[in-house]
Structure 1
Amino acid sequence: MSFEVVSQSRCFNGTQFVYRHISQETGTPMRLAAYIPPQAAKGKVPVVWFLSGLTCTEENFTVKAGAQRIASELGLILIAPDTSPRGEGVPDDPEGAYDFGLGAGFYVDATQEPWAKNYRMRSYIERELPTLIAENLPADMERQGITGHSMGGHGALTIALRNPGRFKAVSAFAPISSPMHCPWGEKALSNYIGADRSAWREYDTGALIESGARVPDILVDQGTADSFLDSQLKPQLLEEACVKAGQPLTLRRQEGYDHSYFFIASFIEDHLRWHAQRLA
């Protein structure tokens, strides 16, 4: 099904769209934001995906990161999907917690009830949405990059590692480096996937790298003043896995930066230039 335009706004000589469509994977309406740069008027251009973190929708990155200016200069389409299914009948955390359920799909395909019917964000991002983008937008799907923040950084890294060759550039901002070894990840994976921790490995960056998955290189920025650094994000686990496996990684610890979109806005230009060089 084609995208329905929810809104569109002129932005740095391109257009910022928000689209809506009915997802076959989640069984719900889904929204996504897409910035189309001016270069797309002359033909297909590269695509960079941004996967957002806990509590976010397609709006957070779109309005807070300040990415459109540099995407316009570099000629990049920016795709920002929602982070979970939503709508009537979609289950949420029974206690209303922010770190599970609505806004917290964790980019997995749930296998446990009541989550399995709707929480299929892995298949939505890996299979359904790329097809729709190729059919509806001026996107060169042979030149794709992927990045994300926090839960979305976990999503970007694991999706790239599970789909070798699809993404020519991979980066992340303050990713959940090992969901198998932090409270956010343990809660999400045990509820969505079940108690068998071996089934969690396909959703853990370090485990995927340990099992032989590779991408050409990875750029990660992590703020040293991030309140989630030691308890949830644990970049040292990513660093250790990459060193042990010989997976190229540039991990930059940014002094004094926290977990907010002020951090993302400060370094989004670096990331988009990293992607553009590899998508040229």
Structure 2
Amino acid sequence: MATAEEISANKQFGGWNRRYKHKSKSLGCDMTFTVYFPPAAASGKVPVLYFLSGLTCNDENFIIKSGAQRAAAARGVALVAPDTSPRGLGVEGEAESWDFGVGAGFYVNATQDKWKNWRMYEYVTEELPALLASAALGSPLDLGRASVFGHSMGGHGALVAGLRNPQKFRSISAFSPICNPCNAPWGVKAFTGYLGADRESWKAYDASELMKGFTGSSKPPVLVDTGSADKFLVEQLKPEALEAAANASGYPATVRLQEGYDHSYFFISSFVDEHIAFHADHLAK
């Protein structure tokens, strides 16, 4: 049976941030993740909200910087924050740039042999939920009530995970997501490296392409916030592509541009309570 070792614990707003380490079968290395258990977890099952972080981040950035625990404690929602890529494998070139390799898994299952361990899509949609369900730490978590959100690269990951698994996630949201990675420099670089030159295969990991052709009967509602002062807005993020795809397919998506905000955790912390409320409302249904 899968096991996870607790490596730290910090009390916050009556609940607990607990960090764990485990051996990942999907990624072939040790991985860390953090769970915030709200006070309600001490007396019963609580729903789960996964947060996927962005480039250069690990599982601690959101937990330490966002201030999300206050709202999560009030609404009785557990937060689960995984790392962003395999680490310590020593693959040649894995740390040569900040937007590819270590800290930049892009939440895909790599098909190129050199990057065969970069299977973050499988990790966040299959292995980690299974670990949470099977390990002792999973006992207060109601994995049947789950939603997903994220930031930047992780916003892209959350949109893709949610749109490809509408039966697993009740709602989806994102801060500053890479909405159309097939047509953004970050996405082109990552997809070429991990998935190869066949651009048609990239569409399986592009939220705008997925939403444009969405045919599922279950449509988890989507909320996206991007800052108007985000320096990556035009070249990398392209929220207008996602909005156009939602309009074309009739997908229930709210895409907002927040005046004056940038790409940082100052932006995330300003709107994270709204996102948690959005998810908590759907998790309560």
Q: Aligned partner of 1:260: which letter?
A: S
Distance 1:142 1:230 in 2: 37
**Superposition deviation, residue 209 in structure 1:** 1.7
Provide, for residues 76-121 of structure 1, a one-character-per-residue CA deviation record: whole Å limited to 9, x for no partner. Answer: 1100000000014244446x211100000000010113101x1011
Distance 1:211 1:245 in 2: 7
Distance 1:172 1:263 in 2: 12
Q: Which residue of 1 aligns with 2:261?
A: 257
> RMSD across aligned C-alpha pairs, in angstroms?
1.1
Distance 2:55 2:153 in 1: 6
TM norm structure 1: 0.97
**Superposition deviation, residue 213 in structure 1:** 4.7
Distance 2:52 2:247 in 1: 25
The answer (yes or no) to whether the contact 2:163–2:220 under 8 Å persists in 1 is no
Q: Which residue of 2 aligns with 1:278?
A: 282
Q: Aligned partner of 1:44: which letter?
A: K
Matches within 5 A, 1:64-143: 64-93=65-94, 96-116=96-116, 118-136=117-135, 137=138, 138-143=140-145
Distance 1:277 1:161 in 2: 19
Matches within 5 A, 1:1-280: 1-93=2-94, 96-116=96-116, 118-136=117-135, 137=138, 138-213=140-215, 215-280=219-284
Distance 1:186 1:88 in 2: 24
Instruction: Structure 2 unaligned segments of length 5 or more: list them.
Output: none
Q: Aligned partner of 1:83: which letter?
A: T
SS at match of 2:8: strand
Distance 1:235 1:88 in 2: 34
Q: Aligned partner of 2:66: which letter?
A: A
Instruction: Structure 1 unaligned segments of length 5 or more: list them.
Output: none
Q: Which moved more, 1:231-240 or 1:129-138?
A: 129-138
SS at match of 1:97: coil
TM norm structure 2: 0.95
Following superposition, which runs of at least 4 residues in structure 1 exceed 6 angstroms of deviation?
none
Distance 1:84 1:71 in 2: 25
Q: Percent identity?
A: 52
SS at match of 2:114: coil
SS at match of 2:145: strand
Q: Aligned partner of 1:75: which letter?
A: G
Distance 1:88 1:180 in 2: 27
Change (3 A) 1:66 1:7: same
Distance 1:224 1:194 in 2: 33
